[in-house]
Amino acid sequence: MPPFSDEASGALLAKGTPGDNAAPLSITEISALLKRTVEDRFGFVRVRGELSGVKRAASGHLYMSLKDEGARLDGVMWRGGVQRLAFLPEDGIEVIATGKLTTYPGRSNYQIVIERMEIAGEGALLALLAKTKARLEAEGLFDAARKRALPFLPTAIGVVTSPTGAVIRDILHRLADRFPTHVLVWPVLVQGNGAAEQVAAAVRGFSALPAVGSIPRPDVVIVARGGGSIEDLWAFNEEVVVRAIAGSTIPVISAVGHETDTTLADFAADLRAPTPTAAAEMAVPVREELALQLADLGARQRRCALRPVQLGRERLAARAQRLPRPETLVAARAQQLDDLAERLRRGLADRIVTARATLERSAGRLSAPLLGAQLRHARQQLDAVRLRPADLTRRIAQEQARLDALERVRLQLDPRAPLGRGYALVTGPDGHVVTGRAAAAKLAALTLEFADGQLRVVPASTRPVRSGVQSSPKSGGAAQGDLF
């Protein structure tokens, strides 16, 4: 009987046929055979197609499909290969993928395990650039309203570029010529794998510097690179760089490539420079021009300050010509002074004559015996005055009596004086005196001060009452009574 005869196909149980020595294969076995066959035949392939359904798993692996006009091929790229990608895979990008074909038994399909993936030509690269630009522009990252003005005279400038290229030398040389400024260089890769992440981290790092610290915070940041092809400049078209520049808290100047080169970093930056040297010129003014401008302003300031003085001198000279001569003004007063001087001389002479006559009349009363008698009389009056001790003791006794009276009043007003007579002084936890029952009932504890010490008590209104338990005199316990 043939292996696939009609009679055998209608059998209920599977039976072996004469001469059949091939046992049935399991699904796993046939899937393994197919997998081995496909991998042996297509161990290394390069395919070109458009990405579709790009999806990144939590593990870091990348799953996608490559398609053209007539077919579709599933693909997977493991995390290690994804980390080496020079661009961000998106739907619609035409790529060339290199890898090996294999099968996936779980879904009975075949797929390509991609080891390397590149954009298929400059046209596809430009298409990806236009697509990324449109998406970021729709988010408002390129709006002119969010761009900030550069500081007029920055105290520190941050430069994000390669430390070994000619770009940093050109920038430093131009800054030294125009206005020597403190420069902070953040070394990064400017092309190749990892360049975009390093540039973005540098821009964010400058923004994260504290305003006051050991490292000065730049007032402006220059992101610079020399010229090159679109592939060389691609790191500055990456979304991570664009978002870092747009989110920078420091104004950013983009100086990537030559004047004809344009990257997405130029649209996100606050200012675009055609070359790195031009970026240095935009960042600082010319010191010599500032010095000349300051000198001119100083000269104008001095002229403005001296102009009122000059005008005042002219007005003063004009008014001085209309004033009368000084000798004319004082002539009358000089004559009057001479007249008064003559009258003073005559008056003094007359006064001397009168004083001499008065002195001659009084000279008889200034005899020595008369002066001696007046001196003895004054000495007798002085001897009659004596300081008696009784006057002093009487004053001391009066002050002592007054002091004793004040001491008695003090003792009467002392709040602790009544303690010796059985009274107590009630104070609260803060040491203030409690004078009423209502105030005492609100406190958690009171202090009773007696003549021989203090006692802390708790008001009955605040002490917890245990229901069903009473203090019995037989038990020896004495319950505390109500203070009030």
**pLDDT digit string, tens, across residues 271-314:** 999 999 999 999 999 888 888 989 999 999 988 988 988 899 88
Across 167-189, average pLDDT: 92
pLDDT value, residue 470? 43
C-alpha 350, offset from chain centre: 92
Taking the chain, what is the end-to-end CA distance rounded to the nearest angstrom?
A: 121
**pLDDT higher for 202 or 125?**
202
| Residue 17 pLDDT greater than 70, yes or no | no
Query: In angstroms, rounded to a whole number, what is the distance separating the alpha carbons of residues 394 and 377?
Result: 32
CB atoms within 10 A of CB 242: 26
pLDDT value, residue 18? 63
- Angle at Cα 258 formed by Cα 255 and Cα 264, nearest 5°? 55
Across 315-331, average pLDDT: 83
pLDDT value, residue 24? 73
**pLDDT higher for 295 or 390?**
295
Query: In angstroms, rounded to a whole number, what is the distance separating the alpha carbons of residues 251 and 203?
Result: 10
| Residue 189 pLDDT greater than 60, yes or no | yes
**pLDDT higher for 25 or 471?**
25
pLDDT value, residue 284? 92
| Residue 475 pLDDT greater than 60, yes or no | no
Residue type, 188: V
The sheet carrying 446-450 orders its strands as 425-427, 446-450, 453-457
pLDDT value, residue 159? 95
Q: Which residue has tokens 């989110």? A: 247
| Residue 445 tokens, joined | 């504890």
Across 5-33, average pLDDT: 66
Q: Confidence band (pLDDT; 50, 70, 90) for 125?
A: confident
pLDDT averaged over the chain?
82
Query: In angstroms, rounded to a whole number, what is the distance separating the alpha carbons of residues 162 and 281?
Result: 19
pLDDT value, residue 7? 52
Across 458-482, average pLDDT: 51
| Residue 474 pLDDT greater than 50, yes or no | no
| Residue 13 pLDDT greater than 90, yes or no | no
pLDDT value, residue 25? 74
pLDDT value, residue 435? 85
pLDDT value, residue 478? 42
pLDDT value, residue 16? 60
pLDDT tens-digit profile of 231-262?
Answer: 788 889 889 999 999 999 999 999 998 888 88
- Angle at Cα 184 formed by Cα 178 and Cα 186, nearest 5°? 130
pLDDT tens-digit profile of 394-446?
Answer: 888 898 999 998 888 888 787 777 777 888 888 888 888 888 888 888 888 88
Least-confidence region, from 156-165, 332-341, 381-390? 381-390
Q: Confidence band (pLDDT; 50, 70, 90) for 108?
A: confident
% of residues, the chain, pLDDT over 70 = 88
pLDDT value, residue 476? 43
